[in-house]
Amino acid sequence: MKVLIINCGSSSLKYQLIDSESEAVLAKGLCERIGIDGRLSYEKTGAEKETRDAPMPTHTEAVQLVVDALTNPKTGAIASLSEIDAIGHRVVHGGEKFAGSALVTDEMLAAVKECIDLAPLHNPANLIGIDVCRKLMPGVPMVGVFDTAFHQTMPRKAYLYAIPIEYYEQYKIRKYGFHGTSHSFVSKELARFLGLKLEDSRIIVCHLGNGASISAVQGGKCVDTSMGLTPLAGLVMGTRSGDLDPSVVDFLGKKIGKDAAGVIDVLNKKSGVLGLSRGLSSDFRDLEEAASKGNKDAEAAFEVFCYRVACTVGAYAAAMNGVDAIAFTAGIGENAAGVRAQIVKYLGYLGIELDAAKNAQRGGNVKISTDASRVAACVIPTNEEIAICRETVAVLKG
């Protein structure tokens, strides 16, 4: 099957066309600045990447441009639209309504709409992407793959917040977790790589990217994760604060003259390692370089980030009464050897010892702990598009 993967943001649209049997990427690209001016990138596998300005006032024009690029007689990856067998859409929030991926139907879309207040920035964009594809490619089966679904197996003790229970019952305020497609893909891939039986394994996945979250996966099922009602919770991130005393919202708001929404905006966009580094950068490449030149703020940002990861790993080892293997994934987890080394230094008590030479290797799955380590630590590159493709095929095959 040829499966088109669509990941729609408020002003962007990432896409990949994947052959589900071989899992080969046939073409991929990005529409950016939708609603502003518009820029399209398109790359057919084996050919040069093309980037050009292309007006896209709305997502409709963006999807049309993607379809035109894919079927372009000279550079297209397919001869006609009829070659697209299915479309897999990333959807950010499925609330408690979706514990797995779901076929796109009118009822399914109504349920996703009911989750909009849980993800007001993301779900509307995801819904627009689905709507436009339904109009441009009627009859092509579509599947929604949710960031939250993998975490729906969390037990009540992990997802309930200790606030009056009526607020959970009435407003569904609870921990949901995000990056679920990545946590699901990486935990399975780690078990396969190490030859562990998924059903008997205790795995901790550290998805460390610009957004970052950790999950505890026992017997292949998520039992806890660090993001919450929204992706603001848990780890220190590129620009997000992660966990802090909730009283900070009121206290800081009074000091700087902002309401709760204004402070939350600061916590989402100006905090994390960007805020700690005095606005230097949210990117670990810049922070590592600055720290190596003696920048104390960059050094502190680095330390706080790694410390929080290590503490969360410890918490999840406790939650599962032990851990068999830990995976590092996403932009930082896959590329920042220094961050991994710093985190693993805290994990000696678990019986993890770093193999420095392996930690310096690049590309693919790599075990970075020594063979003598009681718990394995590995780099497992995530691949959310392949994960969405697999989910799409699985739902369609029933």
Considering beta carbons, is residue 192 or 285 the nearer one to ligand AMP?
A: 285
CB 39 within 8 A of CB 31: yes
Pairing state of beta strands 39-44 and 50-53?
A: antiparallel
First to last CA, the chain: 15
- 332 belongs to the binding site for ligand AMP (CB under 6 A): yes
How many chain residues bind ligand AMP (CB under 6 A)?
12
- 289 belongs to the binding site for ligand AMP (CB under 6 A): no
Q: Which of residues 5-24 bind ligand AMP (CB under 6 A)?
A: none
- The 3-class secondary structure across 156-170, one letter per residue, is HHHHCCCCCHHHHHH
Catalytic residue among 53, 106, 131, 147: 147
Distance separating alpha carbons of residues 43 and 69, to the nearest angstrom: 9
The CB-of-107 to ligand AMP minimum distance in angstroms stands at: 33
Residue 147 a catalytic site member: yes
Residues paired with 44 in a beta bridge: 27
- 283 belongs to the binding site for ligand AMP (CB under 6 A): yes
- 284 belongs to the binding site for ligand AMP (CB under 6 A): yes
- 302 belongs to the binding site for ligand AMP (CB under 6 A): no
DSSP 214-241: EEEEETTEEEEES--SSTTSSS--SS--
Q: What's the half-sphere exposure (Cβ side, CA atoms, 13 Å) at 202? A: 14
- 210 belongs to the binding site for ligand AMP (CB under 6 A): yes
In the list 9, 95, 234, 238, the residue contacting ligand AMP (rule: CB under 6 A) is 238
Binding range to ligand AMP, per CB under 6 A, among 113-121, 144-152, 332-340, 384-392: 332-340
Q: What is the DSSP letter of 354?
A: B
Distance separating alpha carbons of residues 134 and 137, to the nearest angstrom: 5
The CB-of-179 to ligand AMP minimum distance in angstroms stands at: 9
- 206 belongs to the binding site for ligand AMP (CB under 6 A): no
CB 149 within 8 A of CB 102: no
Burial of 294 (0-12, 13-18, 19+ CB in 10 A): exposed
The pair of structure tokens assigned to 390 is 């697999």
- 213 belongs to the binding site for ligand AMP (CB under 6 A): no
In the list 126, 152, 218, 335, the residue contacting ligand AMP (rule: CB under 6 A) is 335
Count of beta carbons in the 10 Å neighbourhood of residue 256: 9
Binding range to ligand AMP, per CB under 6 A, among 133-141, 145-153, 317-325, 328-336: 328-336
The CB-of-5 to ligand AMP minimum distance in angstroms stands at: 16
Distance separating alpha carbons of residues 231 and 225, to the nearest angstrom: 11
Binding range to ligand AMP, per CB under 6 A, among 102-110, 116-124, 245-253, 280-288: 280-288
The CB-of-364 to ligand AMP minimum distance in angstroms stands at: 15
**What's at 210, amino acid-wise?**
N
Count of beta carbons in the 10 Å neighbourhood of residue 108: 19
In the list 285, 296, 345, 374, the residue contacting ligand AMP (rule: CB under 6 A) is 285
Considering beta carbons, is residue 61 or 288 the nearer one to ligand AMP?
A: 288
- 381 belongs to the binding site for ligand AMP (CB under 6 A): no
Catalytic site residues? 147
Residue ranges that bind ligand AMP, judged by CB under 6 A: 209-210, 238, 282-285, 330-332, 335-336
